[in-house]
Structures are given as C-alpha cells and as structure tokens.
Amino acid sequence: MSLRYGRPGQVCVEHVLEVPLDHADPAGPRISLFAREVVGRGNAEEDLPWLLFLQGGPGCPADRPSAAGAWLSQALRHYRVLLLDQRGTGRSSPVNRQSLAGRPDAEAAAYLRHFRADAIVRDAELVRRQLLGDRPWSLLGQSFGGFCAMTYLSLAPEGLAEVMIAGGLPSLTAHPDQVYRAAYPRALAHTERFYARYPGDRKIARQVVDHLDDTETRMPSGERLSAERFQMMGTSFGHDGSFDLLHHLLEQAFITSRGEPVLSDTFLRGVDGVLSMADRPLYALLHEAIYCQDAASAWSAQRTLAEFGEFDPRRHAEVNFTSEMFYPWLFEQDPALRPLRGCADLLAAYDGWPRLYDPDRLAGNTVPVAAVVYADDLYVDFDQSRATTGQVGNLRPWITNEYRHNGLAARPAVFDRLHAMVRGEV
C-alpha cells in the first residue's frame, strides 16, 4: 500500500515494490525498491506527465523533497516527479557494512555485481510499468544519473519520452584507466584554482600533511587520519562553495594543546564529515565498476596514480588534492569500509562486466535528448563528454563554463533551459 502525505506546496506518495536482484533470474532472490512521487499541491489531481529523477553517485539516494535542489520546484511546474532511490541506496535495500555483515566476500561481491546502471534501468522499467502502464516517461539524470540515462537509451528507449542530462555524459567506450588518466590533471587544475583563491592555504596544507606524517592523529570518531586521506578533500572541489569549505577548515586547523600544536577537533570533525563513506559505501565500492565493460578495473585509480608524481606529498613540495578516486588502502583506513575490503578486491578483479552502452542503438536514437556539458567539470571529462554528444542521435548539447557540476541543484536556470531544449523551444 502506498503512503500519501502533504508537505508545504507538495503532495507526496511513497511507493515500495519488490524487484529481482538479478533481472536475468526473475524467479530468484528479490530486493526492495523505494520511490517517492512528488507533485505540486495545485496539480495533485492533474494528469501530468511523469519525470523520473536519477541521482548522481553511484551509491547516493535520490534527493529528499525537503532538501532537493533548485531543479525540483521548476520541474513540479510541468511534471509529476518520481524520486527513485537506486538499488542499494536510501530505502532501497541499502548496502553497507551492516547489511552485508556475515556474507563471505565472494558472496558479497557476486551480490554487488547487480548494482550497476543496467540493473537500475531495469528496475526503473518495472516501476514505470506499475505506475504508468505502457506510457513512456521523461528522465532527468544528474551526473551518474546521466550515465544511467545512456544505458536506458541503450536498453529500453521505448520507455522514454524525453531525456535531460546534467553533467553526466560518459564515454561510451573508455576503460577506467582512460577515465582516471584524464581525471588526475583535472584534480591538479582544481587544486591550483583553490590555492589561487586562498594562497595562504598552501603553507597550511603543507603543515597539515607534515603533522599527519609525524604523528598518529585520530579524528573524534577514533579513526586515524592519514596524509593521503586528507588529500581526498579535493573530492568536493567540483561543487559551489567547496573551496570555501576547505579554506575555513584549514584556517582552524591547528590549536595549542599542552604547549604543542595539534590538529583541532573542529578541523578533524569537518574532514571526517566530508570523507567518511559510512552513508555511501557503494560510492567507493562501485565507482570504478561504473566504467567497466568487458574488462576489470584492477584498482585503476591506484595504478594510474603512479603516473602523476605531483600527488606524492613527500616528494613534491605542493600538497595536491585528489578527486573522485578510491584506493585499496581506503578500505583499511575507513571503518565503514574496512569489513568490505575483500569484497572490494574481488570487484576490482572481476572482468565479466557486461556492456552498458549500445553504440549502434545510441547512434540511431530518436528520443529527444538535451544535455548540459560543463566545460570545467571536475568529475566528468569534458573531452569525453563532447565526443559522446556526436555519437548519440537526436541529442542537443549545451556546453557552458557558467556552472559547476552541481549546477542543476544550485541554479533554477539549468533545469529551465534543459526543459526548453528537449522540447525544441531554444
């Protein structure tokens, strides 16, 4: 039974259904899927078109209506919106060290091989048929949600009336090594932009790294903070306000205790809040896997890092921050990931990943697609995205350097323009 309730200006309906863990085995084990329908209060009884929203990630739940970005209020002017918690996230059979506790590593890895975009798309099709019957719906994909949109167009374009993508056009063919070789230079560029804004933070970041190398510093949670983990603070650099966040932590980095400088609890708590994977373990577990097609990642980010000596703070004067990369040592250092280390190794070694995109079908696509490509995107490579715009039929690109990766959430104009583009109005 669906649960219906009201919020200021909105009516929400919660939907829960069971779907196969493995869509190739519909009679096999099942998992729970949660989705929240949202409609503007004044349109609650109207027969509006439906818009499926797929969040970025992987491993992040859908926006909650009370905390959704600028796009939701704009979308509710035109659509009945469905916020789907992708499998393994939010209320959809969540995956974490607790839910996987007791499973042998091989069993956990085999389970998680069913949590990529292909399964998410097939989940969405079951939801669509339950809620809309044969009617297609619109799709809005943010970041990884855009990757899922490309898979949707490859596997089930008949389910889609139109597609809008924000900062999420993947390469259709790149191996993870190609993805990370392009990503590390972007991380260096964003680090330099950070220091250009806050030049005094070069010295403080160096002091932090030296202190972490010389002491065993633990965060208030009890977890040790390493220099390499501190460098992962660059993971947030692609969003509005992220430079300011790190700067304000660094300006309170040190405090005197018993006559000696130590890293302050304020700083350590802030770092932990950015870096902990406790609420999004799939982000670390599957990040390399979302790029894999017929090949293993083999810890690609770790291997390709060796080609970029600028990230070694012990051999390079500058402390450079990494970005959306995850390393095998993280599964030892983060308590939320430590029980999943064996599973992570097996996922990294797995070479049987099916293909996620059908280049021929995408080339002949007839579903209207509008995609914004951010020229300065930290997370999705501009050149790879631009190449994809020429490989998908009926796709209208919007290339801009006006917004950061979270432009959809931060600026109403992003959704409004995508909506107009997909309808041929601009």
131-187 pLDDT tens trace? 999 999 999 999 999 999 999 999 999 999 999 999 999 999 999 999 999 999 999
Report the C-alpha gap between 96 and 378 in whole angstroms: 27
Helix (H, G, I), strand (E, B), or coil: what is residue 74? helix
Residue 18: C-alpha distances to residues 15, 41, 95 (Å)? 10, 29, 16
Residue tagged active-site, from 201, 377, 385, 419: 377
Specify whether 2 is catalytic: no
Residue tagged active-site, from 92, 143, 226, 300: 143
Report the C-alpha gap between 51 and 64 in whole angstroms: 15
pLDDT of residue 69: 86
Tokens of 69: 């970005």
pLDDT of residue 363: 98
pLDDT of residue 116: 98
* Residues lower than pLDDT 50 in the chain: none
pLDDT of residue 1: 57
Specify whether 214 is catalytic: no
**Omega into 58 within 30° of 0, i.e. cis?**
yes
Whole-structure pTM value: 0.96
Specify whether 236 is catalytic: no
Q: What does 138-160 look like in DSSP terms, one character per residue?
A: EEEEETHHHHHHHHHHHH-GGGE
Q: Which CATH superfamily includes the segment(s) 3-173+357-422?
A: Alpha/Beta hydrolase fold, catalytic domain (3.40.50.1820)
Report the C-alpha gap between 375 and 36 in whole angstroms: 32
Report the C-alpha gap between 399 and 344 in whole angstroms: 36
CB 413 within 8 A of CB 225: no
Residue 290: C-alpha distances to residues 120, 163, 286, 346, 377 (Å)? 12, 20, 6, 15, 18
Residue tagged active-site, from 190, 211, 405, 419: 405
pLDDT of residue 131: 97
Residues of the chain with CATH 3.40.50.1820: 3-173+357-422
pLDDT of residue 149: 98
Residue 306: C-alpha distances to residues 105, 182, 269 (Å)? 28, 14, 30
pLDDT of residue 220: 87
